[in-house]
Structure 1
Amino acid sequence: MNEKRPALIKPGFFSIEAAADRRRNEFDYHNEALLYHQQRIDFLFFGDSITHWWDVATFFGRSGQVLVNRGIGGDTTEHARRRFAADVVQLKPRYAVILIGINNTWALDAFSPEDRLTPEEIRHQVTTDVEAMVKMATEHGIQPILCSLLPTCMDRYSRNHERNELVVAINASFQEIAEETGAIYVDYHSELTEADGITLRSELADDGLHPHVIGYRLMAAVLQKTLRERGITLGPDA
């Protein structure tokens, strides 16, 4: 028996400290299996830990749709952009649910001055990378679903208010990108904030950043409602 393996795009490894490297072997093996079996994918979720830790199969998988999760905890837009061809484009999902960018904002708090960035520098970095991913998806016949960054509630960080203001600015840019490219914009942010409009509701996450099951349930409802308005069905009702 001498079966032929599928041609496989691999982004390789980025550095000894890159979060994106933590699941690289796992994703390469899984991507090869999907290609070998010519598996048709309905929704591919792509992003950082908020995607990584979202059990999308439980929330949405009871409908028989094929769902794939390509989230990596700690990933930044720079590395996400570099792995997008491997983890999204070559798998050819019908829809790519993109949620990435919050980890870039840690550059506000970087210990070393040379590693710190201004809010405007971070916004430019995030939006440039995300726009490139959205356009790459569109060019390959994949419908991008661009999701807002989530608010945070982490008082232990001295610049967290500034981070939340930056998140609002980035989301405004995401909306513009969606309008210009035909991506579907999903506004999680406005449903997850306190009355101030920028802070994560404390009852939705244990650490002020990652949603627990109630936070994810709310996100699922927002995502499904947004898609339903476009005539797109994702799983059963949340």
Structure 2
Amino acid sequence: MNQIRPDVIRPGFFSIDAAADRRRNEFDFHNEALLYHSRKVDIVFFGDSITHWWDVATFFQDSGLAIVNRGIGGDTSGHARLRFPADVLQLRPRCVVILIGINNTWALDAFSPADRLSPEEIFREVTSDVEAMVRMAAEQGIRPVVCSLLPTRMDRYARNRERNELVVRINDALRGLAGESGAVYVDYHSRLTDPDGLTLREGLADDGLHPHVLGYEIMADVLREALVAYGISL
């Protein structure tokens, strides 16, 4: 039996309250196990709570693919970018499904003025971070799959319409990024919205943000449709 531990990329902890730190030890242990056993990884699902809570093993159990979930509830695009080498690149999957950015938009509603960001600042954050991750993946021969942000239906937030309008702007930019870079673009948004093109349809999420099983079923269908054209069957 091999008694030598593999060299593992560990990004460390970002702050005392960073959402990305909540699963850091878990992911470090799991990444080391995959590397130690030289396990093949076909797809890494990478993102925030919408990925974290997606039971991809059940939704894609008939694919025959080795699928790893590296979603962290509450994660933002900036911290996702920093942990990308550890949780994606070193696992060398065939492709990475990236869905990140909605948590950046909470800066619209931040209680403290010092923590608030404008829509333009949030737009630049998300698009530049996703672009960097797409570039890193492509450089390692990993096909990046760029997913649209999901619409929301959270009337308790005064700026929710502004949030949903920002989501549309970000998605337009992500679609353009995918086209320019050769990444796959997955348009969840248009299949989940009301006729207004902005708001999450009723009956797809209990809290107006996180899809329940019916929302995830739509997302699974959309992802399969997008990937089949690239010879990836989920």
The TM-score normalised by the length of structure 1 is 0.97
Deviates more, 1:109-118 or 1:2-11: 2-11
Q: Which runs of 4+ in 1 moved over 4 A?
A: none
Cα offsets for 1:19-57 (capped at 9, x unmatched): 000000000000000001111111110000000000000
Cα offsets for 1:110-141 (capped at 9, x unmatched): 00001101101100010000100010000000
Q: Where does residue 172 of structure 1 map in the other structure?
A: 172
Instruction: Give 5+ residue unaligned stretches, structure 2.
Output: none
The alpha-carbon deviation at position 231 of structure 1 amounts to 2.6
Q: Where does residue 42 of structure 1 map in the other structure?
A: 42
The alpha-carbon deviation at position 61 of structure 1 amounts to 2.1
What's the % identity of the aligned pairs? 71
The alpha-carbon deviation at position 227 of structure 1 amounts to 1.0
Aligned Cα root-mean-square deviation (Å):
0.9
Q: Where does residue 161 of structure 1 map in the other structure?
A: 161
Cα offsets for 1:153-203 (capped at 9, x unmatched): 000000000000000000001011101111000000000000100000011
Is the partner of 1:145 in helix, strand or coil?
Answer: strand
Kept in 2, the 8 Å contact 1:101–1:126? The answer is yes
Kept in 2, the 8 Å contact 1:188–1:222? The answer is yes
Q: Where does residue 32 of structure 1 map in the other structure?
A: 32
Kept in 1, the 8 Å contact 2:63–2:233? The answer is no
Q: Where does residue 127 of structure 2 map in the other structure?
A: 127
The alpha-carbon deviation at position 2 of structure 1 amounts to 7.0
Q: How many residues align?
A: 234
Q: Where does residue 214 of structure 1 map in the other structure?
A: 214
Alignment map for 1:72-87 (pairs within 5 Å): 72-87=72-87
Instruction: Give 5+ residue unaligned stretches, structure 1.
Output: none
Alignment map for 1:1-238 (pairs within 5 Å): 3-234=3-234
2-structure distance, mates of 1:194, 1:25? 39
The TM-score normalised by the length of structure 2 is 0.98
2-structure distance, mates of 1:109, 1:64? 42
1-structure distance, mates of 2:212, 2:129? 28
